[in-house]
Structure 1
Amino acid sequence: MTSPRPAPSTPDDVRVAARWLAHTLNQSTTTALDAPAGEVSWSCWRTAEHVVDDLVAYALQVASGARLGYVPITGPRGESEVVRVAPASGPAGLAEALTASAELLATQVEAAPPELRAYHPFGLADPPGFAAMGVVEIVVHAHDILVGLGLAPQAFPDGLAERALARLFPDAPRDTEATHDALLLWCTGRLALPGRDRLTRWRWDSTVREPAGQG
């Protein structure tokens, strides 16, 4: 007998993930957030800004139902990432921007009809798919930020990794005793697992798949 598939990622998953990361940001200082975030090429501050930008972009995709590409909004020099948080606002402002952008995505997912499909380079996605992508952006980059701040790894809020894995990483290994958190970090190239090297190339699959057994 196969295990039941986890429920889809939800708008509240996005909100919970954002509040969880916002707590860490609020406990930090601007100087601390200038440190490199894990092994990504950004500072902790810039990594959090990247998450804010992605959440806004995903909200626009769901709001528009754009199928051919991202909604064509660029910065003044043509840059694709357009969201920046005023440095003078400090960690509290960065946390506020994060929770606000998460609320934008969560609200759009709640309002969207289930049949909506919108573009992502890793596959045309439905509203729960965008929720799952938002969750992954938040929690995986939260891991990067925690590493950059020299803090101990923290467990992700309950259920977030399991639901996001089921939606975006259908080929994730099942013959492992790793936690869902660790498996999500392995799938996104952040760590090795027993018997499995750390991935150097990875991507999720945001296409919409029919539940097993239908048809």
Structure 2
Amino acid sequence: MPVTATDLDAATASVVAALEPVVDLDWSAATGTGALNAYRTAEHVGDCLMSYAAQLSSRSTDDYVRFEAALLTDATNAQALEFVVAGAGMLAGVVHRLGPEVRGWHPWGVSDPEGFAGMGIVEVLVHGEDMCRGLGVTLEPPAEVCAHVLERMFPEVTVDAEPWTALLWATDRVELPGLPNQAGWRWRGAPVGD
């Protein structure tokens, strides 16, 4: 199954459902991804999604479009989450509009709209999971979306685990018994068949 804009919408909706109830907590004190707190992780995700939309829209295949999207200094947690939703909506709209022949640059390889949708889903779900852990809530993304993104972005992953757990393992968020950790992981952005 190809990864679609609808999959990105569903992944984003699952993150919003998990994080909306905790927008009144202190996101600046909650862990996010790496050295980022939950608030800055949301900002990172929004920026990534908007950048991916720009890459595809511009059809740039040799470098990033030179801009950065960031939250205003007075943005609330709810507005940080809204920033993620806006970025996901922009990327989903571009993915939906463009044909499979379009290409855009990413440092891990030139990709097509399906690949950028997959990248967006990984960003939303994996960083969303980091934020959820830091804020003490559970993220439950749709299994079929996780399965689609695993097949497209991590075709070498054939672990005996539920798709969400397998995606977390592939992105070095969990360990699975008897399997090596995935530090230094990368997705496969190249179009299928390339």
Q: Is the shorter-chain TM-score for this pair beyond 0.5, marking a shared fold?
A: yes
Q: What's the counterpart of residue 114 of structure 2?
A: 128
Contact 1:187 1:202 in 2 (8 A): yes
Q: CA deviation at 1:38?
A: 5.0
Q: CA deviation at 1:24?
A: 2.9
Amino acid at match of 1:117: R
Amino acid at match of 1:48: A
The yes-or-no answer on 1:149 pairing with 2:149 is no
Aligned partner (choices 145, 170, 174) of residue 187 of structure 1: 170
Q: CA offsets, 1:42-62, max 9 Å, x none? A: 000111110000000000011
Contact 1:23 1:95 in 2 (8 A): no
Aligned length: 194
Matches within 5 A, 1:72-91: 72-73=66-67, 82-91=68-77
Q: CA deviation at 1:32?
A: 2.6
- Tell me how large the CA RMSD over aligned residues is: 1.8
* Cα distance in 2 between the residues matched to 1:32 and 1:156: 24
CA 1:155–1:58 in structure 2 vs 1: closer, same or farther (change >3 Å)? same
TM-score (norm 2): 0.92
Q: Secondary structure at the match of 1:54?
A: helix
* Cα distance in 2 between the residues matched to 1:168 and 1:109: 16
Query: Which structure has the larger Rg?
Result: 1
Contact 2:31 2:135 in 1 (8 A): yes
Q: Secondary structure at the match of 2:74?
A: helix
* Cα distance in 2 between the residues matched to 1:136 and 1:170: 14
Matches within 5 A, 1:38-53: 40-53=34-47
Q: CA deviation at 1:16?
A: 1.7
CA 1:88–1:198 in structure 2 vs 1: closer, same or farther (change >3 Å)? same
* Cα distance in 1 between the residues matched to 2:96 and 2:161: 32
Q: Secondary structure at the match of 1:33?
A: coil
Q: What's the counterpart of residue 17 of structure 2?
A: 23
* Cα distance in 2 between the residues matched to 1:57 and 1:35: 27
Amino acid at match of 1:155: E
Matches within 5 A, 1:1-215: 7-29=1-23, 31-37=25-31, 40-73=34-67, 82-151=68-137, 153-172=138-157, 174=158, 176-210=159-193
Contact 1:60 1:71 in 2 (8 A): yes
Unmatched tracts of structure 2, length 5 or more: none
Q: CA deviation at 1:36?
A: 4.0
Q: What percent of counterpart residues are identical?
A: 34
Q: CA deviation at 1:167?
A: 0.9
